[in-house]
Amino acid sequence: MPEQAFSSRMASFSDAVTAGIATGKTGEHLHVDVAIQNMLNVICDKGHKGSIYLIGNGGSAAVASHIANDLTNMGSLRAHVLHDPALLTCLANDYGYEQIYSKQIQKFAKQTDLLIAISSSGQSKNILNAASAMAEIGGTIFTLTGFDSNNPLREIGNFNYWIDSHDYGIVEIGHLFFLHHLTNLLR
């Protein structure tokens, strides 16, 4: 029955998001509520002293856009997505798709800035390159990933939230839910 299928999927979503694992820079496990409070403190600090950049591919880019809106509207913070179509096609043409975000980080980001990198797999080269560029600058990095726990993006972030699922829908909406919860705390 369709109702049972939806209920089952909703239960899977709830289980995956509730079981999400938050870690710090050295991989230490953090209680999710502690991680959220620490992340919120960084967001408020970075958003007032610098800028917050959000990146993702596909559905994760849509999540990035939504959260940038909320950070700006609810938190009065300087939040920007880095996926303007004209600029992306320019950078992809000149440097290759794997550099579309890292080139922008290199040009615009400062040590006082924050990068929120969203990638279901944690293995997208363009996201990894941007996170590495932000690390070289000395900025702060939050990562949101899913799929495999040992994905390379988790190793770069100062704070990381990982969802144990290989289902794009669950991971992407889980990331949105996590970030939405965080932005709601800005009110």
pLDDT tens column, 142-171: 999 999 999 999 999 999 999 999 999 999
* Domains of the chain listed by start with CATH number: 2-184 (3.40.50.10490)
Asked whether the whole model's pTM tops 0.85, one would answer: yes
Whether residue 1 has pLDDT greater than 90: no
Angle at the Cα of 132 from the Cα atoms of 53 and 170, rounded to 5 degrees:
60
Task: State pLDDT tens for residues 15-69.
Answer: 999 999 999 999 999 999 999 999 999 998 877 889 999 999 999 999 999 999 9
Q: Are 138 and 164 in contact (CB under 8 A)?
A: no
